[in-house]
Structure 1
Amino acid sequence: MNKRIRLFDTANVLLMGIVVCSMLFPFIHMAAVSISSSEYVLGNKISLWPKGINFDAYTAVFKDNRIWVGYKNTILYVVLGTSLSLLFTTMGAYTLSRRNLILGKTFMLIVVFTMLFSGGMIPTYLVVRNYGLLNTIWAMVIPGLVSSYYMIIMRTFFQGMPRELEESGKIDGLSDFGILIRIVLPLAKPVMLTISLFYAVGIWGNYFSALIYLRDESLFPLQVMIRNIVMIGQVGEMVQSTAVGGKSVVLESLKYAVILVGTLPILLVYPFIQKHFVSGAMIGSVKG
């Protein structure tokens, strides 16, 4: 029996090692290419270790004003969108979790219906246009404000909380809103941080909405700026950049540097909420 357990653990470790390596390889390769000399990059001689280290690509990226405009807009969209999404998701989930809610099952069916069917891109665009949201920051926030899936997850968490806590709050004279603020939300920190992370990652990587709803380049998020820079690669193999003192910057290095600059910040957020993320991911698990 012990041999089987050790064999199973060994197989798990090997499998997870393969998965981790397959996920890390693209990032390591991009980092190596982005700081390698042009002759090695053009010769396709870079795999996991940089050669002829230089930081011309990053110098060009950080001196490009589009990157900073994109960062500013993306941070604004993430902070504003995540805050409002979490607020409305929490209110909706708490309301749907009440057993005495009138027509509660009907409202729940309506929420589930939106997960299975949607109006499509053109009707959604027409709604956004008719409300005057085109080419505004609200076009990046309001259309995807609430996720039915996340609302159901949070509703499940609220339903699993002991009713005795709410009853004690009512005895102390708290209203439903007071119970939510003083009792429920402090206990719901894991699920709230987990869903906040999901919302933030979704907004950070959202470029499709910007392509549809935004026309002013000063409102473009970072991902659209990255897309515009990466698509330069269709023009030629090298680009002359006056931002780095007249030196030539290989487009392959430039593209990878831009991608890493746009990806790493949101990845660095995860370690700070990992503990809460694990707790939130256990929602619905069997507890003894």
Structure 2
Amino acid sequence: MKSYSLSGKIFDGLNALFLIFMALITLYPFWHVLVGSVLPYEESIQSGFHLFPKKMSFEAFEYVFSKSTIMQSLFVSVFVTVAGTVYQLFITAITAYPLIKQDLPGRSAIFLFIIFTMFFGGGLIPYYLLIKNLGMVNSLSVMIIPAAISTYNMIVLKTFFQNIPVELEESAKIDGAGYMKIFFRIILPLSIPALATIGLFIAVGQWNNWYTPMLFLNDKELWPLAMVLRDILINNNMELTRAGSFISEEFMLADTIKNAVVVVSVVPIILVYPFIQKHFVKGVMIGSIKS
């Protein structure tokens, strides 16, 4: 058993205290919003620090789940996140895999062309005109199809593929397997850590995407939850303002409802993390180091 000197124990203790302090700083905003969402009216109108509510009220959540607009946007967000993540992972994988092949004609030129898109774009107006001409304005496809691939994610996945022993592919070729069979039966199963890591990045981006629907979705029934949340928090939804403008116990403050909406929007994406936690660190480390 390894023994530690006094200086080593002091360092470990200070390091632990520092990490605990940083964790508290990170978690406090979430806790503040969570507490604010369950504060009853009499406590929410009082200024001051609320670490723990004396009483709890779930009226704000009842109000949120009673609104058809918010529930509709929640289903839209789930659909867009799942469909967009699967779609982008597939496009990213089938783009990254050929680029590791030395015998691919024009491999360097193709890779440089893809890298070029990281630094230069056509601009917002040409992008809007392109989406409009493709007929994707006011359609959920605009949140899925245009964001087909991230160059950064493709580079990470390409680096991961390069770490897979080439002998596995050679053995499969001897057995008569083609590139597609090798890709789906060998490469993808071995790349689950990288795919899970990149999938988490894509899912969080899709779930929090409000900019795309703000530009292209005019029908509020197609708005995802992030866009509805933006409408509540920034545009000061008039219905919530009226609900919070009466100084009476019969009405909740708009801030309490806003906190409840934030909690509802954050919890689903947080619940995804435990399912891929075992792959996350391994995917980040292997995908960033080339042996």
Aligned residue identity for 1:257: A
Aligned to 2:208: 205
SS in 2 for 1:248: coil
**Cα displacement string for residues 105-154 of structure 1 (whole angstroms, at most 9, x for unaligned residues):** 11111111111111222221111111111111111112212000000000
Whole-angstrom CA distance in 1 between matches of 2:252 and 2:12 = 47
1:52 equivalent to 2:55? Answer yes
Task: Tell me how many residue pairs correspond in the alignment.
Answer: 284
Q: 1:68 aligns with which of 60, 67, 71?
A: 71
1:107 aligns to what? 110
The answer (yes or no) to whether the contact 2:100–2:158 under 8 Å persists in 1 is yes
1:131 paired residue among 131, 134, 141: 134
CA distance in 1, matches of 2:266, 2:66: 18
Letter paired with 2:277: Q
1:161 CA drift (Å): 0.8
Q: 1:98 to 1:214 in 2, by over 3 A?
A: same
SS of residue in 2 equivalent to 1:173: coil
Q: Which residue does 1:278 correspond to in 2?
A: 281
| Deviation of the 1:8 alpha carbon | 3.2
Match in the other structure for 1:95: 98
Structure 1 letter corresponding to 2:125: I
Verify the 8 A CA contact 2:163 2:290 in the aligned structure 1: no
TM-score (norm 2): 0.91
* Aligned counterpart, 1:265: 268
Maintained 8 Å contact 2:214/2:227: yes
Is the CA contact 2:209–2:226 (under 8 Å) kept in the aligned structure 1?
A: yes
- Judge conservation of contact 1:239–1:250 (CA < 8 Å) in 2: no
Residues 159-202 of structure 1: CA deviation (Å, up to 9, x unaligned): 11111001001000001111111111111111111111111110
TM-score (norm. length: structure 1): 0.92
Between the aligned partners of 2:289 and 2:240, the Cα distance in structure 1 is 55
Contact 1:32 / 1:46 at 8 angstroms: preserved in 2? no
Q: 1:71 to 1:236 in 2, by over 3 A?
A: closer
Aligned to 2:45: 42
Q: Distance in 2 between matches of 1:192 and 1:270?
A: 13
Find the counterpart in structure 1 of residue 218 from structure 2: 215
Deviation of 1:51 after TM superposition, in Å, equals 2.8
CA distance in 1, matches of 2:74, 2:241: 25
Q: Which moved more, 1:11-20 or 1:182-191?
A: 11-20
Give the SS at the match of 2:177. Answer: coil
Q: Is the partner of 2:263 in helix, strand or coil?
A: helix
* Residues 286 and 235 of structure 1, relative CA distance in 2, 3 Å threshold: closer
- Counterpart for residue 144 of structure 2: 141
RMSD: 2.1
